[in-house]
Amino acid sequence: MTASTNNTHRVGVHVSISGGHDKGVRQAVGLGCEVAQVFTKNNMQWFAPPLADSAVDAYRRAREESGLSMVFGHAGYLINLAATKPENLEKSRESLLRELVRSDQLELPFLILHPGAHLGEGEEAGLRLILESLDWVFERHEGRTRIAMEVTAGQGTCLGARIEHLATLLNGCPCPERLAVCLDTCHLFAAGFDLRTRADIDRFIDGFSKLIPWDQVVCVHLNDSKGALGSRLDRHELLGEGKIGWDCFREIVNHPAFAEIPLCLETPKGKDNINDRNTLAKLKEARGEPAP
Ligand SMILES: [Zn+2]
Ligand SMILES: [Zn+2]
């Protein structure tokens, strides 16, 4: 089976890699994806060895046959580049480095990463430590996969809920060409950025672009939010069933600023991924549909 790929506003979902990355790609196609997101390894473990050649070959074959226009990665949840305990900081850096090795094996254009949590040390100190960690990683990694810093909901001491944080990282990194940005509608909304109407979305893009060039945005996660605007709650909901509402997503799949950016669901999948299937179909139908 081959993915039918639209030229713009390509949509997809995060797929499981249990059973191999090749299986993940096939599943993505079966669900109706045009793009797909994968973990490079079990996301709740620190380390995994590089992929075996046979696994890479199987993936490459599946990837070629799939017709997917892009497959990209999301890094594990344990990594905290601003960890205060030396042991955790070391593990975080090493873990990210090894994930980049796997990302290169899979030829992923970018690996999405939550910037980190300062754990009480303060925003400035946290951002400085993240920059040091990025330095550490890039000194040891020669591959091509970029790191896409994801905007966060700002839960706890998580950094990345303000565009200024992301701008500090992009501007402070000695190799900015190796960094990029991933947006997430749930995280943005929870962090206080309203996106419910076309005017809200335009206002957000305007404000963002004053700090970071829009072409640094390489991915957008489409998630509705269980939490209210500014709630700082990172709880994803099915599109149209949360506090953001369907209008936002219809606007995004018709908005020229998002035409070239892969759009990826991270919402509850339901039995046999029924929700993914249905939401992708609904998004495809909404493309080319003007606002009422
Ligand atoms: Zn994420
Ligand atoms: Zn996300």
> Do the domain assignments include residue 44?
yes
**pLDDT above 90 for 238:** yes
Q: How far is the CA of 14 from the centre of ligand 2 (A)?
A: 10
Average pLDDT score over residue span 221-233: 98
Q: What is the pLDDT of residue 4?
A: 65
- Ion ligand 1: residues, CB < 5 A: 150
Q: What are phi and psi of 123, to 5 degrees?
A: -65, -45
Q: What is the mean pLDDT of residues 75-93?
A: 98
Asked whether residue 203 is assigned to any structural domain, the reply reads yes
Give the span between the Cα atoms of 187 and 90, in whole angstroms. Answer: 27
Q: Calculate mean pLDDT across residues 134-153.
A: 96
User: Tens of pLDDT along 163-209?
Assistant: 999 999 999 998 999 999 999 999 999 999 999 999 999 999 999 99
Report which bound ligand comes closest to the CA of 264: 2
Range of the domain at 189: 11-286
Angstrom CA distances, 212 to 165, 177, 205, 260, stand at 11, 13, 10, 17
Neighbouring residues of 49: CB distance < 8 A, sequence distance ≥ 6:
none
Q: How far is the CA of 136 from the centre of ligand 2 (A)?
A: 25
Mean pLDDT of 24-30: 98
Within-domain flag for 3: no
pLDDT of res. 3: 74
Ligand whose nearest atom lies closest to the CA of 222 = 2
Angle, in degrees to the nearest 10, between helices 53-66 and 21-31: 20
**Which of the ligands is closest to the CA of residue 77?**
1
Residue 2 placed within a domain = no
- Which two tokens mark 121? 């040390």
Query: Tell me, what's the pLDDT at 1?
Result: 65
Do the domain assignments include residue 292? no
What is the secondary structure of 17-75 as a DSSP string? Answer: -TT-HHHHHHHHHHHT-SEEEEESS-TTSS--PPPPHHHHHHHHHHHHHH--SEEEEE-
Q: What is the CATH number of the domain that holds 196?
A: 3.20.20.150
Query: What pLDDT score does 211 carry?
Result: 98
pTM value surpassing 0.85: yes
**Residues 250-260: tens digit of each pLDDT:** 999 999 999 99
Taking the centre of ligand 1 as the mean of its atom positions, its distance from the CA of residue 291, in whole angstroms, is 29
Mean pLDDT of 140-147: 95
Per the structure, how many domains does the chain have?
Answer: 1
Please work out, in degrees rounded to the nearest 5, the angle formed at the alpha carbon of residue 236 by the alpha carbons of 121 and 193.
65
